[in-house]
A and B are shown apart, each in its own frame.
Chain A
Amino acid sequence: MPSNGSVSDAPITQFINCRILKEHTLQREDLWVRDGRILDPEKLFFDEQGYADRQLDCGGAILAPGFIDVQLNGGYGVDFSTPSEDPGAGVAFVAKKILEHGVTSFCPTLVTSPPSVYHKVLPEVKVQSGGVHGAGVLGVHLEGPFISLEKKGAHPEQFLRTFGGSGGVNPLLEVYGGLDNVSMVTLAPELAGSQSVVEELSQRGVTVSLGHSVANLSQAEEAVQQGASFITHLFNAMLPFHHRDPGIVGLLTSNRIPAGRSVFYGMIADGIHTNPAALRIAHRAHPAGLVLVTDAIMAMGLPPGRHTLGQQVIEIQGLHAYVAGNTLTSSPVPNQLTFDSRILNVFWGLGTTTLSGSIATMDMCVRHFQQASGCSVPEALEAASLHPAQLLGISHQKGSLEYGCDADLVLMDDQMVLEATYISGVEVWRK
């Protein structure tokens, strides 16, 4: 309130003794918040002759924009794609828990499902602001069912679909029941009829992502020209890079991206889905496009031990997770995990080694990404905040500490271990 009230009477908070992520570096600056948004202190001083009502001492910590996870399938025993009595409550439960990982906004993700699931779940998962109740829901990410059979990964084969001949988004409207509250769709562009779908989705403001696909580079580039702007978990569920046809991976260095547009790519930086050397190749080829995602599944957040998840019984033991009971595999878990004992991988299915999402948390991914790529702390933080915000076209509001942006913040030490999370300037979690 200490201001002449010419603009607002709302209380002003000043975060002091902190290093803020601004202009791609960590700057020794204070951060001012009013009405849930970041305030320009110079304007406050000269226009309103104002100053802060209260000061929060950050103890020298790093203050960065809150993380944005655009691919999260569930967690803590909740699977967004398995309809329960109250899908909204499931999303809300996870939304509250992920505040502990520094995630302040996310896209609940639904994997390939029958239309009945979409019709039941989608209307219950509404776009909403975050707060003390949990991270904000930016919109649903629909990963499938319009994906490639060969690259279905762990998606249920019987529910895969093609677009049919009519063109446009009608097949999608039929399957999904509507596109309200949908912020992203992952599809395979080589499916016949995809072009008009990509175009129309993009025009409607839905982000189109390429994934679970056997498209070649040409097909991928066409899709980008129609409006596709994201690649779902790069390297996974797509053709491997080949020097005569780089496939979707080739989008990272394609020279056929329309001017003024950028292709972003999701990276599950848990040390399992992508070999660190491959992560580095992608990062070095196109650092500005890297978007960290967890692709976390319902086992994420569960403590070690046995858990019944849907039809499966999972056993989480130390570094390993097994499908107990019906597993035929005795093959050792690939990729010895040495960097973070809490990152686990879950193997589904009858003894296959098909990866199926991760149980890494977003803050783990940020730390692992920084370690594996050798990038700077600002770069690692931007991959989890600025880049997803740019992808979704909301960087004027989220993912940044510029004046006017929402004050969704994370406080962390130099090792990027989280100390507190804020949404709209209000503390929503503290260690």
Chain B
Amino acid sequence: MRLVILEDYDLASEWAAKYIRNRIITFRPTAQRYFTLGLPTGSTPYACYKKLIEYHKSGDLSFKYVKTFNMDEYVGLPRAHPESYHSYMWNNFFKHVDIDPANAHILDGNAQDLEAECAVFEKDIADAGGIDLFVGGIGPDGHIAFNEPGSSLVSRTRVKTLAKDTIVANARFFGHDLSKVPTMALTVGVGTVMDSREVMIVITGAHKAFALYKAIEDGVNHMWTVSAFQQHPRTIFVCDEDATLELRVKTVKYFKGETETLCLVFTSYQ
């Protein structure tokens, strides 16, 4: 694992966006060979998307030959609802960049047959040649996507019932009315994300600090599903200082030293 620690939320977001940008540029995607990107939603990646849009508008980055697969979507929430993940992705990303709509894959939480929808999604990922870089976040309960505590670490895309923690955390997007928050979602599985060639998890804020500790300093445990990535060959955790508050000083010092080297490598792409 690489643990990249930046001073604050904005710097962490910028680092993550630059990493994605550089990955796509060095891959040199074409119509015959697309770059496949897994994408998250939520407040954590918000600034990262803004930066990616900036790089696109300045002409540095095109999404013409990029295929995207989002991690999750609520079940039963109308697609046009402002809190649906379709709305989030449209408003915060897709409408500002040049991605081909046919290449933007998001699970349909209003599909007639939810299980079939999940199976098709897995197939679409396979047909696209697998995912080159899966970007994700972490919930306060250590979940990746909607793989709530207790999810199998080899799970695939499926319907999940949301944990109370998650519903409470999401209530702020539904007028603080718990009854309005969806209780089920379609989500990629832990196994689905593990299959990607590279994983980048962005974790910012003190409220995520305990989850980060559990994810990287404790054992692999299905109660903290992000911990599964300890067994992935190429994972980067990008975080801000606040997110490291529950880590050992030793861990932080070690990775800060390593970060300096990493940044030197990546500044050459700027």
Contact = CB atoms under 8 A, between A and B. Distances in A.
Interface stretch (A40-48, A133-141, A228-236, A381-389): A40-48
Contacts of B102: 4, 49
A222 interface: no
A41 B94 CA distance: 11
A46 B86 contact: yes
A48 B94 CA distance: 14
Contact of A41 (B86, B95, B100): B95
A50 interface: yes
B249 interface: no
A19 B100 CA distance: 25
Interface string B84-118: 00110010001100001110101000000000000
B256 interface: no
A19 to B, nearest CB: 16
A30 interface: yes
Contacts of A44: 101
B80 interface: yes
Nearest to B104: A45
Interface in A29-54: 30, 41-46, 48-51
Contacts of B234: none
B53 to A, nearest CB: 13
Contacts of B156: none
A45 B87 CA distance: 11
B101 A46 contact: yes
B80 A45 contact: no
A49 B100 CA distance: 8
A46 B90 contact: yes
B79 interface: yes
Interface residues of A, number: 12
B120 to A, nearest CB: 15
Contacts of A49: 100-102
B252 to A, nearest CB: 40
Nearest to A45: B101
A42 B101 contact: no
Interface in A317-359: none
Contact of B87 (A4, A42, A48, A50): A42
A46 B95 contact: no
Interface string B206-227: 0000000000000000000000
B95 A45 contact: yes
B108 to A, nearest CB: 9
Nearest to A51: B101
A32 to B, nearest CB: 10
Nearest to B103: A49
Contacts of A50: 101
Nearest to B87: A42
A42 B80 contact: yes
A48 B86 CA distance: 14
Nearest to A49: B101
A51 B87 CA distance: 16
Nearest to B79: A46
Interface in A20-78: 30, 41-46, 48-51
Contacts of A30: 95
A405 to B, nearest CB: 17
Contacts of A43: 80
Contacts of B100: 49, 51
A188 B123 CA distance: 72
A166 to B, nearest CB: 53
Contacts of B90: 41-42, 45-46
Nearest to A32: B95
A48 B100 CA distance: 11
28 contacts: A4-B102, A30-B95, A41-B90, A41-B95, A42-B80, A42-B86, A42-B87, A42-B90, A42-B95, A43-B80, A44-B101, A45-B90, A45-B94, A45-B95, A45-B101, A45-B104, A46-B79, A46-B86, A46-B90, A46-B101, A46-B106, A48-B101, A49-B100, A49-B101, A49-B102, A50-B101, A51-B100, A51-B101
Interface of B: 79-80, 86-87, 90, 94-95, 100-102, 104, 106
Interface of A: 4, 30, 41-46, 48-51
Given A45-B90, A46-B90, A51-B100, 16 more contacts: A4-B102, A41-B95, A42-B80, A42-B87, A42-B90, A42-B95, A43-B80, A44-B101, A45-B94, A45-B95, A45-B101, A45-B104, A46-B101, A49-B101, A49-B102, A50-B101
